[in-house]
Every structure is written in structure tokens, then in C-alpha cells.
Structure 1
Amino acid sequence: MTTKPPFRRRNYFIKKKFQFDFAVKFLILIAIEAVLAIGLFLYVSKGTLTAGYSGPELTVARTYDFFLPILLFSNLIIVGATAVAGLVVLIFLSHRIAGPLYRFENILNDLSKGDLTRRFKLRETDQLLELEKGINEMANTLDRNVGDIKSAAAALTQLASEMQTAAASNPSASKSLERLLQEISRTLRELKGSADFFKTSL
């Protein structure tokens, strides 16, 4: 009998500042469109009169005085409904972007600290899949090359150590050769120390 994995409530607010800024800009855009629509109506209706019934009486008034209350009310309803629907859609869309960005930040931080074994793994429904592929390929290349450097440095260090031991045990070996081997060993230790900063799979 298989047990179902525990239910995990999805967190739609991962990068709150990014998502908040996204939503605020969307609301500002809607507000600007509403103001422009009203401004355009006032400009077009400037200097015109409209006749209409207000109850049983026929009324003649300036066009914007006649229609402005209706226009304001309808705009408020449209802006409100659009804002609510747009915010719901934005939450879902921004989650598809903010989630990968959050994971990119964490893994890039680990890569910058030298852990070249970390990889991105996004869902098929997430955005930025091409970026995931590119960075993973870069990390694979770095992992492989730095791993090769570490292996080569370790092998050369071992070889230099063996040569030093052989030179020390051979009285006929020249002192210049021993000094050269010591310099090689020192350089290799520095190289290995630099390479060991990185954590690789090799």
C-alpha cells in the first residue's frame, strides 16, 4: 500500500518585493488608462450639449455634465473588476517567474562559494527553462574542468614528492635539482589550494 506524500500548501508569494512591485505597476497602468479615458471624453464633449429625460422632464445640459457621473461610475466598476481579475492572474504569472528567480539566487550563491555540484531543476511549467539549461551547462563545464585541474595538481604533487624523496636519498643529486623540485612542490600546493576552493563531483 503506497502512502500519499503529505500535502504542501503552495506558496505564491516567494519574492514578495518583486511581486508587489509588479502588482503596483499594473494597478498604476489601469488607473492611468481610466484617467485618460475620462480626459479624452471631456475633451471630445467640450462645448457640446445633450438633451435627455430626467424623469418626466426633458433636460438640456452640457454633454460631460450629463454623462460624467455615469462614466465615472462605470469606470470604477470596470477598473475594480479588471484590477481584481488582473491581480489574480498576476499572482499566478509572477509566481511562475519569482519561484525560478528565487531558486536561481540560492543556487548561484552556492556556485559563487565554490560548490560546483549544484544544479537548477525547474518544473516544465516554470518560466526561464532556457536560462536553466544554459547555466547548468556552464556549471557542468566548470565542474569538469576544475575537477581535472584538481586531479592533475594532486598527481603532480605526488610525483614531485616522490622525486624529492629520490633526490634526497641520492648523494649524487645536485642541490639545484632539489631546489627546483621544492619550488615545483610549492607552486603545486598553491595551485591545489586554489582548486580545492571549488567543490566538484570529481
Structure 2
Amino acid sequence: MEIFIPLIKWREPMDTKGYKRKIYIVDKKFQFKFVIMLLFFILVTVFTVSFTTFYVIWQNVIEEFFFVPEASKKLGEIYLRTSELLILPLIVLSAIAGIAGVLISHRIAGPVYRMKKVSEEIAKGNLCVNVKFRKSDELHGLADSMNAMITGVRNLVKEDRSTINKIMAVSDKLTKDVKKNKGLKSEVKKTINELNSIIKTLKKNSGRFKTE
């Protein structure tokens, strides 16, 4: 009896040792949104604090010296200079916030990108992959759950292959018995043929996965 053995394409397992991610922009869309949101909240906070501080201080000063012509003119100049001096720190703060946003988002976008690549390998039938992050990355709990899932699926496929081998052994034995006993009913032969067909299907399906 010929048993169909599917051809399993060899796929090199993904290297998870010494995994280092040197590219900081791994998901442009996500990281861009993250940086914009971070800058927005920082600028809103800075403007709110600055406006409140200026309003309280200058309101008291103006009320005190508004009707003094010389003092009023001098205060106007001081106000303009002070406002100009705040522009440079605001630009520097925005630049620092942008860099910090990229670095922080990298700790999230990097792991998400890694899991996406691992998922693509699993979709191809490669179960020899694992999710591995750097210590500084976020989402380690999600990586552990995904690795547990991969291990579980890998074990199930191995068990299925073991079951298929047992069924094949039974089918071989039945086939040999049929050949020895020529008077065996045709229904039994039909059952054996159906069993062989099931074996082929199971082997074809499980052969899609690489477990070792």
C-alpha cells in the first residue's frame, strides 16, 4: 500500500538569540501619532501654565503701575522680551519631547512589529518561532502568552502526527490481512480505502506545519 507523504518545505527558524533592534522607526504611522499626541499634551500644559503664571503676575503689576507713564512703557518692553525668551526654551522642549516620543514609542512599536513578523511565520506553517523582546521593551506578558500559544499548537501538531502514524500502522495491517484473505468482503476493502484517504488528508494538513 502506498501512503502519500507530503513534501514539507524547509524554513529556516527565525533567529531569536541576541535579538537587537537598531532601527528606531519601525512603525511610522503608530510612532508618528504617538509623538504628535505627546507634543500636543506637552504644549497644552506649557501654554496653560505659562498663561496662568503670566496672567496672575502681570495683572498685579499692571494694576500697580498702569497709570505711571514711564513704568507702563518699561513694563511693556519687559513683557515683550520675556515672551521672546520663552520661544527658544519652547522649541528646545518640543525637540526633546519629539525625541523622547520616538524612543518611548519604539519600546511599544518594536514588540508589535516583532509579533507581526512571528505571526506571518506561523501563517506560513513555521511553528519553530518564538517571540523574544529586549529587557527594556514593553508587552513582555503578551509575548509570554503568544509563546505559550505557539508551544501548545506545536505540541498538538506533534500529537496529530503521532496519531496519524498509529492509524497508518493499523491500515497497513488491515491491508496485509486483506491480501492474505481473498474471501474478505468488498465492504471491508472499501472501509480500508476510505481510511487511507483520511490518512492522506490528515498527513497533508499536518505536513503544512514545521515543528522541528
TM-score (norm 2): 0.73
Which residue of 175, 178, 182 maps to 1:167? 178
Name the amino acid aligned to 2:30. F
Q: Distance in 1 between matches of 2:137 and 2:104?
A: 9
For 2:63, the equivalent position in structure 1 comes to: 49
How many aligned residue pairs are there? 189
Structure 1 position 140, deviation (Å) = 0.6
Higher alpha-carbon deviation: 165-174 or 70-79 = 70-79
Alignment match, 2:158: 147
Q: Which amino acid aligns with 2:144?
A: K
- What whole-Å deviation, never above 9, does each CA across 1:112-156 have from its counterpart, x for those lacking one? 222111111222222221111111111111101111102211331
Q: 1:125 to 1:160 in 2, by over 3 A?
A: same
CA pair 66-177 structure 1, distance change in 2 beyond 3 A:
same
Which of the residues 8, 33, 41 maps onto 1:21?
Answer: 33
Counterparts of 1:87 and 1:53, CA distance in 2: 44
2:130 and 2:30 map into 1 onto residues whose CA distance is 24
Alignment of 1:18-167 (within 5 A): 18-37=30-49, 45=59, 49-51=63-65, 57-59=70-72, 69=80, 72-167=83-178
- Following superposition, the deviation at residue 75 of structure 1 comes to 4.4
Greater relative CO, 1 or 2 (CA 8 Å, sep 6+)? 2
**Structure 2: segments with no counterpart, 5+ residues:** 1-19
Q: Which runs of 5+ in 1 are unaligned?
A: 1-7
- 1:76–1:172 distance in 2 versus 1, CA, 3 Å: same
Residue 102 of structure 1, CA deviation: 1.4
Q: Distance in 2 between matches of 1:9 and 1:194?
A: 35
Would you say the 8 A contact 2:21–2:110 is kept in 1?
Answer: no
Q: Which protein has the bigger strand share?
A: 1
Aligned with residue 179 of structure 1, among 190, 203, 209: 190
Give the distance between the partners of 2:40 and 2:82, measured in 1 at CA: 19
Give 2:5's aligned residue: none
| Structure 1 CA distance for aligned equivalents of residues 77 and 167 of structure 2 | 91
Percent of aligned positions that are identical: 22
Distance 1:149 1:26 in 2: 50
Structure 1 counterpart SS, 2:71: strand
Q: Secondary structure at the match of 1:49?
A: helix
* Counterpart contact for 2:160–2:206, Cα < 8 Å: yes
Structure 1: distance between partners of 2:21 and 2:110: 14
Task: State the Cα RMSD in Å.
Answer: 3.3
How far 1:190 moved relative to its partner? 1.4
Conserved? CA contact 2:118–2:130, under 8 Å: yes
1:27-78 deviation digits (Å, cap 9, x = unpaired):
2223333454566579875xx7351699x922289x9x78864564354334
In 1, are the aligned partners of 2:31 and 2:102 still within 8 Å (CA)?
Answer: yes
